A and B are shown apart, each in its own frame.
Chain A
Amino acid sequence: MSVTATEPVSKEAEQNWPAWFRDQQTSAWADYEGSPDPTRKDEPWRFSNIGAIGLAEFQPAESVTSEGRLINISQGLADVSAKLVFGNNALLHQDVERLPHGVLLKSLEAAAREDEELFRKFFMVQPIELGSHKYASLHQARLSTGAFLYVPKNVEVALPVEIFHWIEGENASIFPHTLVVCGENSKVTVIDHFKSADGKRAFACGVNDLHLEQGAQLNYVAIQEWTRESLAFHLNSTIVGRDASSTALNINFGGGFVRGESLSRLIGEGARSVMLSLNPMDGERQIDQRTLQDHAAPHASSDLLYLNSLDDASRTIFAGLIKVEPGAHKTDAYQKVRNLMLSDQAEANSMPGLEIQADDVRCTHGATSGEINEDELFYMQARGIRKSDGRRLIVNGFFRSLLERLESGSLRTYLGGMVSKKLGVSSA
């Protein structure tokens, strides 16, 4: 049965989730079925390859074949403070013993039962405004688990929290979810890994919501490594309160067609949001990213930098909007997308936008598309480096410049190593 066909609620869901949540799922399902499919004439889907979004052949995921194997290969950073491992919509493993007192890291269903007030206050409360409302409804209707992290007031979690989301099985579907709530003046780093267990084509429809209360600091990194045939939605919202600061980095190493939506809403004075994305594109892979920097409060700043390298017949869409609402004076907003074109077949579409309704602001945006600087390449060749190696080195350097934005040195090293590996450059 297709993942988009109506199915009865499983016994498992009956037991795991409270009834009020299952009611919400029922209405989400109705909303999914009642919403029209997007068309290219819809502004949020301009330039998009809507033909690539066929869900009919995807199936609900079965249980994974070997939990132990997946738990074993869920290795990221050397030092972490906690780890959760999910596989095919089920929690396989949790290691949360070393977390500071009061920090909650658990499955969403456990949070819905045990921390109902918190859960209800933060779970999918942001309207999906960047086009994928229908798929967010599908996500909510089909959700069976996910990660819930709550860091209480004044608590700093020194080492990163790592979360792994595995998918296994031909045409399997998963609905990963990460909900992070940072209390006042708290600080935490979260790394979400999205990985394929068997290299098969699959469908992922994920939501990650980040909430930062006054003075909180959050570093969030999503590393997406789906297979190059897979279809994926990753819908993100970040709500930043007064004097809070968020840095979110989305890395897309995989996926055949990936739709990413990232919304940052700055709701308190002095709030700051840094939105980064790093996308080495190749083959016939396509990525369609839509972003919104919504300045609802004065004296807030946002800074977006998206980098794409486009090899082979890959294709990218970036549509970003800086929106400064009336009264959000002293806004400082920046937005930039850079496309490094590596092939004659590649295509980059950029739509950087501004909507400004306050006057005492500084807003700039830019978009560039260009090829590798021939002089740089020649310089490398003159030092005896092969042209193809030189190109890879330059692309690697292009992405490294973005990683410099990250605060943590160990995270920079780790991610830099992954980028080098992806590009076939020795990371020494």
Chain B
Amino acid sequence: MSTDTEQDISIDRSIGDFRYDVDYAFDAGTGLSERTIDYISDVKGDPDWIRAFRKDAYRRFVEKPMPTHWASHDLDNIVFENIRYYLSQGTAPKRSWDEVPENVKRTFERLGIPEQERKFLAGVEAQFDSEAAYSNIKKAVGEQGVIFVGSTEGLHKHPEIFRRWFGKVIPTGDNKFSALNSAVFSGGSFIYVPPGVKVKHPLQAYFRINAESFGQFERTLIIADEGSEVMYMEGCTAPKFETTTLHSAVVELVALPGAKIQYVTVQNWSPNVFNLVTKRGLAHEEAEIKWIDCNIGSRLTMKYPSVVMKGRKARGEVISIALANDGQHQDTGAKMIHAANETTSNIVSKSISVGTGRATYRGLVHVPRHLKGCKNNTECDALLISSHSRTDTYPAISVRGQGNACQHEASVSQISEDQIFYMQQRGISEGAAMSLAVNGFVNDLVQQFPMEYSVELKRLIDLEMEGSVG
């Protein structure tokens, strides 16, 4: 609306904004050096190749400049020396909630994780700061040969699969933050789904940051073998601190021929979190990778889920919802690399900017030479709620050769005064009308989330919109 409504949004983050005191057995201290890396490797009992991998990554991290020639200068406000890079109560996750230390267990209970596990999940991993406190998979699913463990356990117990794919989808030097993650990674999931196995219920990871001035660097690797199917969901929260928190994950997906991976994220970090995540999937012949991504929280999010379509008829999809509220910058998007014939990709992105919020879409679609029958469709829609809001769209589409089709469309709109008036005339309050209109705007995408998440999402959007009308 064009009316200059001053924003005073008190976002109800009560769901994640609490914290219990916890004693850490392992603490790498503040700041980052080779010694920090040795400390992490020692605690985790890393094999030599991982220690070397970390050190090489650290060197690249130091060498690489901040990408501020295209990205937000807010990145310059991250003081790497002030961050704590590893905090844990031990490296072995518990298989039963009863064994989880009391305050950690209380934390996850309050977030509703054990309840969700009982209701509809095939397995859960609950990460608390640097390590998983709890990790379990339903017996029946485990018996099908599905592996669902933390990255450390995956590395130790399944080296033959782990080593083959680890760091292959996202090379260490892909960007400064993938290098940082590669240097200090801890936690995250390792999943292997054997050929033909279709995991009926989702596997879920929950990432909780509890400590102040902390950096969480989980590393997730999912391999879906031929013809298998799996859905993975991740959620995250942190209490709100005055100081900066850093979350920098690397997620690699491998869908072997005919496999399907769906990766669902609902990001609701507190507004002091820099969320700088690299996510990429490799889709082999006739495989399908779908990122369903929703960003509501954080101070600055930079995340562009990618799919490299390596095999004929592979498919890639990114469904993205971003809500940038006062003071937030959601810099999200998608990358689609078509590397084989008849590959198809689809990007649908919707963003909402409220108050002084800024939503940015960055996209890359690449169809190299000598390919036939590749298709991309991209739609980006942005909704602006107030006159101080900002939205940007920066796509780049490279197509070589004929016989491929790419189509990009974007629009920017606002909720008009007359729409709100119309709804008010039916007796609906201005705030409720705004929520209805915003939910209407993202409705078709919310439908793509699993039911349990779409209800939660709708509630989150309602909360965020509360008070956004002056």
Q: Do any beta carbons of A and B sit within 8 angstroms of each other in the complex?
A: yes
Residues of A within 8 A of B (CB): 41-43, 46-47, 326, 329, 339, 341-372
Q: A329-B387, A356-B382 are in contact. Are A347 and B399 (CB under 8 A)?
A: yes
CA distance A41 to B70 in the complex (A): 9
The distance from the CB of A345 to the nearest CB of chain B, in whole angstroms, is 7
Q: Which of B385, B396, B404, B410 is close to A359, meaning CB atoms less than 8 Å apart?
A: B385
Give me the 5 closest cross-chain CB pairs, A-B, nearest first: A360-B2, A359-B384, A354-B393, A369-B399, A341-B402
- For residue B409, which residues in chain A have a CB less than 8 angstroms away from its CB? 364-366
CA distance A363 to B392 in the complex (A): 11
B369 at the interface (CB under 8 A from A): yes
The distance from the CB of A229 to the nearest CB of chain B, in whole angstroms, is 23
CA distance A372 to B416 in the complex (A): 40
- B408–A349 contact, CB under 8 A? no
Q: A329-B2, A370-B406 are in contact. Are A347 and B389 (CB under 8 A)?
A: no
Q: A41-B69, A359-B2 are in contact. Are A365 and B410 (CB under 8 A)?
A: yes
- B384–A356 contact, CB under 8 A? yes
Residues of B within 8 A of A (CB): 1-2, 69-70, 369-370, 382, 384-414, 416
30 contacts between A and B (CB under 8 A): A43-B69, A47-B396, A326-B388, A329-B2, A341-B399, A344-B402, A346-B402, A348-B397, A349-B396, A349-B397, A350-B396, A350-B397, A350-B408, A351-B396, A353-B393, A354-B410, A355-B390, A355-B392, A358-B384, A359-B385, A359-B389, A360-B1, A360-B416, A361-B384, A364-B409, A365-B393, A366-B407, A367-B407, A370-B406, A370-B407
- B386–A47 contact, CB under 8 A? no
The distance from the CB of A175 to the nearest CB of chain B, in whole angstroms, is 31
- B414–A367 contact, CB under 8 A? no
CA distance A187 to B245 in the complex (A): 60
CA distance A354 to B407 in the complex (A): 16
- For residue B394, which residues in chain A have a CB less than 8 angstroms away from its CB? 351, 353
CA distance A363 to B384 in the complex (A): 12
Q: A353-B394, A368-B406 are in contact. Are A359 and B414 (CB under 8 A)?
A: yes
- A358–B411 contact, CB under 8 A? no
Q: Which of B388, B395, B405, B414 is close to A353, meaning CB atoms less than 8 Å apart?
A: B395
- B408–A367 contact, CB under 8 A? yes
The distance from the CB of A359 to the nearest CB of chain B, in whole angstroms, is 4
Closest residue of chain B to A350 (Cβ to Cβ) is B397
Q: A347-B369, A353-B395, A369-B397 are in contact. Are A341 and B410 (CB under 8 A)?
A: no
- B398–A47 contact, CB under 8 A? yes
- For residue A348, which residues in chain B have a CB less than 8 angstroms away from its CB? 397-400
Q: Which of B69, B390, B396 is close to A357, meaning CB atoms less than 8 Å apart?
A: B390
- For residue A361, which residues in chain B have a CB less than 8 angstroms away from its CB? 384, 412-414
CA distance A224 to B23 in the complex (A): 73
- For residue B400, which residues in chain A have a CB less than 8 angstroms away from its CB? 344-348
- B412–A362 contact, CB under 8 A? yes
CA distance A75 to B464 in the complex (A): 65
Q: A356-B390, A362-B413 are in contact. Are A345 and B401 (CB under 8 A)?
A: yes
Closest residue of chain A to B363 (Cβ to Cβ) is A351
- For residue B392, which residues in chain A have a CB less than 8 angstroms away from its CB? 353-356
The distance from the CB of B441 to the nearest CB of chain A, in whole angstroms, is 14
- B410–A352 contact, CB under 8 A? yes
The distance from the CB of A291 to the nearest CB of chain B, in whole angstroms, is 14
- B408–A341 contact, CB under 8 A? no
Question: Which label, helix, strand, loop or mixed, suits the secondary structure of the B interface?
Answer: strand
A341-B403, A345-B401 given. 4 additional CB < 8 A pairs? A349-B396, A351-B395, A366-B410, A368-B405
Q: Which of B384, B389, B411, B416 is close to A364, meaning CB atoms less than 8 Å apart?
A: B411
CA distance A140 to B145 in the complex (A): 72
- For residue A339, which residues in chain B have a CB less than 8 angstroms away from its CB? 399
CA distance A47 to B408 in the complex (A): 18
- A352–B1 contact, CB under 8 A? no
CA distance A361 to B390 in the complex (A): 12
- For residue A345, which residues in chain B have a CB less than 8 angstroms away from its CB? 369, 400-401
Closest residue of chain B to A334 (Cβ to Cβ) is B411
- B393–A370 contact, CB under 8 A? no
The distance from the CB of A121 to the nearest CB of chain B, in whole angstroms, is 33
Q: A329-B387, A354-B391, A359-B386 are in contact. Are A46 and B396 (CB under 8 A)?
A: yes
CA distance A348 to B389 in the complex (A): 33
Closest residue of chain A to B415 (Cβ to Cβ) is A359
CA distance A82 to B410 in the complex (A): 43
- For residue B416, which residues in chain A have a CB less than 8 angstroms away from its CB? 360
CA distance A46 to B394 in the complex (A): 12
- For residue B399, which residues in chain A have a CB less than 8 angstroms away from its CB? 339, 341, 347-350, 369
CA distance A43 to B394 in the complex (A): 11
- For residue A347, which residues in chain B have a CB less than 8 angstroms away from its CB? 369, 398-401
CA distance A371 to B389 in the complex (A): 38
- B398–A367 contact, CB under 8 A? no
A42, A329, A363 — which one has the most chain B CB atoms within 10 A of its CB?
A363
- For residue B387, which residues in chain A have a CB less than 8 angstroms away from its CB? 326, 329, 358-360
- For residue B411, which residues in chain A have a CB less than 8 angstroms away from its CB? 362-364
B70, B388, B405, B408 — which one has the most chain A CB atoms within 10 A of its CB?
B408
The distance from the CB of B390 to the nearest CB of chain A, in whole angstroms, is 5
Q: Which of B1, B69, B405, B412 is close to A369, meaning CB atoms less than 8 Å apart?
A: B405
- For residue B389, which residues in chain A have a CB less than 8 angstroms away from its CB? 359
- For residue A354, which residues in chain B have a CB less than 8 angstroms away from its CB? 382, 391-393, 410, 412
- For residue A363, which residues in chain B have a CB less than 8 angstroms away from its CB? 411-412
- A344–B406 contact, CB under 8 A? no
- B404–A341 contact, CB under 8 A? yes
The distance from the CB of B200 to the nearest CB of chain A, in whole angstroms, is 39
Closest residue of chain B to A331 (Cβ to Cβ) is B412
Closest residue of chain B to A347 (Cβ to Cβ) is B400
- B402–A352 contact, CB under 8 A? no
- For residue B413, which residues in chain A have a CB less than 8 angstroms away from its CB? 361-362
B402, B410, B411 — which one has the most chain A CB atoms within 10 A of its CB?
B402
CA distance A358 to B389 in the complex (A): 7
- For residue B384, which residues in chain A have a CB less than 8 angstroms away from its CB? 356, 358-359, 361
CA distance A242 to B272 in the complex (A): 44
A329, A354, A370 — which one has the most chain B CB atoms within 10 A of its CB?
A354
CA distance A350 to B400 in the complex (A): 12
Closest residue of chain B to A341 (Cβ to Cβ) is B402
